Amino acid sequence: MRPIVLATVVLAASAAAVFLARSAEPFYPVSDIALTELFTREAAHGRLIVGPYSRFGWHHPGPTCFYLLAPFYAAGGGHTAALDAGAFALSLVALAIVAWIGQRYVSATFSIAVIAGIFLVTARLPPLLVSSWNAHVVVLPAAAFMVTAAAVGVGHDALLPLLAGLASFLAQTDVALVPFVAVIGAAAAALGAGSIRPRTIAWTAVTVAALWALPLGEQLTNQPGNVVRLWRFFVAGAGGRLGTADAAAIWSNALTAPLRPGFILARGSPIEPDWSTLHVALACVLVALVAIAAGVAIRRGARPLARLALLALAASLVTLWSASRIEGGVSDHQSFWFAIVGVLDAAAIVAVWTPSARPRGARAITGMILAIILVVGLRQMDIARHGGIPVTDSAPSAPNFAASIRRYLERTKSQRPLFRLDERQWGLGVAILLQLDRAGVAFAVENDWMPMFPDRFRETGQEDAELTLAARGQRLDLAGRPGNETVDESTFIHVEAVRLSSRVGAPRP
């Protein structure tokens, strides 16, 4: 398909997704999607300088993802479903890159194979196309990054700024992809080094500087800074990394998941490494076939396919190494992105041993598959419009709690409350805070929870009320404080508040 056709389709489908989002039913997300919306709201106001939160006390490297979601969120009327419209647009852009570069610079057969593989993934896991969660939103762009890297590796240096942009997006959105991005990006640049012109290097440097200005600024203006926190965590190590057998189990299960039954969408659930000799054998066969495919492509003189297969081989090995570096317990989202590497492995193998397709026929087949994926995505947007947001639930009580808190603040003339969260109900607590932010209420969050929030919500010492969002049956001692008031309560949570006459130098009650 021609770039102008692809661009037109992407714009039209993105506009349709925004239109659906604008008519969405009210939705009150909890947990990670509530935080995603909160971060996107900060980006929409140009205030965000950090990436998605991590439970380990740092943020992922940068906020590019949220700045890309922000225009769709604003155009979608600030509905939670508008996040899905933005994620859908990012998915479509990634698919357009894969289809265009795959056919023009790699091979027509590979283009069909990889788009067909992605179709099978999205047909089995349709919410992936519209999910704004950072563990999901990197998956299809990772495929675009790999295909672009293959094109750069055979000398198409004009694509180097695009490669740098995709690399920055992936690395900033999910730090787990940093080794993958570094190895594949460096390999592509090394393979195509002889063809890279100074002008291309200059444009690439501008792209990198623009996309990394905010993370660098955050590091320079804060102590110790997020980059230093990341460095300390991953270099010093938090302990508890997986052993060889467990890493191989996680790697083989995730890499081969799209090729066998039981493939499910990651939801951030804890998992135990589950050794399967069959899965390990399948992963090893897949990697061996990719290596053989690279050799066959080299012997045939099919340089683009050879580069793609070599990069797929390298990516498969990087994912194995990445699995061995997982710390602090294993969740299904940490290795979910390995699946797209398995799809690229399979596509490279198919492309090497399948007769070459004619360009016109390949364009037609690829176009039909993309059209089906587009319909699947718009169907998911319609589901989101009716309250079916991926990987999260709606908390109808959140706006009611937020209204009760606002009445308390108005009655007590409190201008900037400090919120404390109970770990047992933190997801609902974040949902309530999102509703307060939507209503324009200024507030701070206690320092222990700040790694989950943008910097604007940090304590300043000027807070004039303290509100605790406590799980039902917990922190009953708060009711005995002088001046305490129970603002609201339900079967899940109760809100206890106390006025702070002066925070400056005063002990906390």
Q: What pLDDT score does 244 carry?
A: 85
Burial environment of residue 235 by CB neighbours within 10 A (0 to 12, 13 to 18, 19 or more): exposed
Specify whether the CB–CB gap between 304 and 106 falls below 8 A.
yes
DSSP secondary structure code for residue 62 in this structure: -
Which residues does residue 493 pair with via DSSP β-bridges, in sequence order?
A: 471
Specify whether the CB–CB gap between 469 and 432 falls below 8 A.
yes
Which residues does residue 499 pair with via DSSP β-bridges, in sequence order?
A: 465
The two structure tokens encoding residue 338: 């390995």
Q: Is the dihedral of CA 296, 298, 300, 306 positive or negative?
A: positive
Local confidence pLDDT in tens for the 509 residues of the chain: 678 888 999 999 999 999 999 999 999 999 999 999 999 999 999 999 999 998 888 999 999 999 999 999 999 999 999 999 999 999 999 999 999 999 999 999 999 999 999 999 999 999 999 999 999 999 999 999 999 999 999 999 999 999 999 999 999 999 999 999 999 999 999 999 989 999 999 999 999 999 999 999 999 998 888 989 888 887 765 555 678 898 999 999 999 999 999 899 999 888 888 888 999 999 999 999 999 999 999 999 999 999 999 999 999 999 999 998 887 678 889 899 999 999 999 999 999 998 887 888 888 999 999 999 999 999 999 999 999 999 999 999 999 999 999 999 999 999 999 999 999 999 999 999 999 999 999 999 999 998 899 989 999 989 999 999 999 988 888 888 999 999 999 999 999 999 987 444 444 44
pLDDT (tens digit, 9 = 90+) per residue, 21-53?
A: 999 999 999 999 999 999 999 999 999 999 999
Q: What pLDDT score does 361 carry?
A: 87
Buried b (16+ CB within 10 A) or exposed e, 69-79: bbbbbbbbebb
Q: Is the dihedral of CA 437, 441, 447, 448 positive or negative?
A: negative
- Tokens 């900037």 label which residue? 416
Q: What pLDDT score does 237 carry?
A: 59
Helix (H, G, I), strand (E, B), or coil: what is residue 60?
A: coil
Residue 471 one-letter amino acid: A
C-alpha 158/C-alpha 141 separation (Å) is: 19
The two structure tokens encoding residue 453: 């929030």
pLDDT (tens digit, 9 = 90+) per residue, 208-219?
A: 999 999 999 999
Give DSSP secondary structure letters for 303-353.
HHHHHHHHHHHHHHHHHHHHHHT--SS-BGGGSTTHHHHHHHHHHHHHHHH
pLDDT (tens digit, 9 = 90+) per residue, 160-206?
A: 999 999 999 999 999 999 999 999 999 999 999 989 999 999 999 99
Q: What pLDDT score does 503 carry?
A: 45
Helix (H, G, I), strand (E, B), or coil: what is residue 234?
A: helix
Tell me the whole-structure pTM to 2 decimals: 0.93
Q: What pLDDT score does 70 carry?
A: 97
Which residues does residue 498 pair with via DSSP β-bridges, in sequence order?
A: 466
Q: What pLDDT score does 86 carry?
A: 98
